[in-house]
Chains A and B, each alone.
Chain A
Amino acid sequence: KAGVTQTPRYLIKTRGQQVTLSCSPISGHRSVSWYQQTPGQGLQFLFEYFSETQRNKGNFPGRFSGRQFSNSRSEMNVSTLELGDSALYLCASSLEGQILAFFGQGTRLTVV
């Protein structure tokens, strides 16, 4: 059974650009959650999608957005990148009503 797949694994962008990250959940999982991980802040919750609907959202500016497709794959987009957006972006998928058990390897975003 394939795990949670995130692409790309590494990304370097310039300030002001935008970026799109992708997450393919485990087959059958309809819930996808996104987290930002930085050395100083740990894992910070971005948003959660379930059946193509954003169900929960963290305290991030509107530059951070996401969506989920009918096949449960999810994308997150960050517009007008800032240096402080450099982080490891993680997604996790789960079955409805279950804790976060499966994370992807993450996408390492570096903004220069």
Chain B
Amino acid sequence: QKEVEQDPGPLSVPEGAIVSLNCTYSNSAFQYFMWYRQYSRKGPELLMYTYSSGNKEDGRFTAQVDKSSKYISLFIRDSQPSDSATYLCAMSSVNTGGFKTIFGAGTRLFVKA
């Protein structure tokens, strides 16, 4: 079993839809939960991160972490064609050797105009 599971999709939605992206994980030591967006032929860019449980909102994006269920979500409201990209979840634990970051496989999202 992988430490982080993410449905690779693809996920296709019409413009204006609410998008829900999810990941599950198995390692309870994870403390930081991140979402990255990656456009084709580009490196990932950090969208949002959350420390421990709870919600965080940034514009049209909301990240949720439920540590009891080991489940994280990213919601995109009023989705736009420019949101079409691969979304990667990632989780980090911290030890004396620094951060250990594990990524999900990524979900490909297509927003149709």
Contacts and interface: CB of A to CB of B under 8 A. Distances in A.
B42 A105 contact: yes
Interface stretch (B12-20, B63-71, B76-84, B94-102): B94-102
Interface residues of B, number: 24
Interface string A47-88: 010100001100000000000000000000000000000000
B44 interface: yes
Given A99-B34, A99-B99, A42 B43 contact: no
Contacts of A112: none
Q: Is the interface of A mostly helix, strand, loop or mixed?
A: strand
Contacts of B42: 105-106
Nearest to A98: B99
Contacts, number: 62
Given A90-B43, A99-B34, A100-B46, A42 B101 contact: no
B43 A99 contact: no
A42 B46 contact: no
Contacts of B34: 99-100
Given A43-B88, A100-B90, A90 B44 contact: yes
Nearest to B94: A97
B20 to A, nearest CB: 20
A43 B102 CA distance: 8
Interface residues of A, number: 28
A92 B34 CA distance: 14
Interface in B29-68: 32, 34, 36, 41-46, 49
B102 A31 contact: no
Interface in A98-112: 98-106, 108
Nearest to B6: A42
Best-buried of B34, B92, B101, B105 by chain A (most CB within 10 Å)? B101
Interface of B: 6, 32, 34, 36, 41-46, 49, 88, 90, 92, 97-106
11 contacts: A31-B98, A42-B103, A42-B106, A43-B103, A45-B101, A50-B98, A99-B92, A100-B34, A103-B43, A105-B42, A106-B42
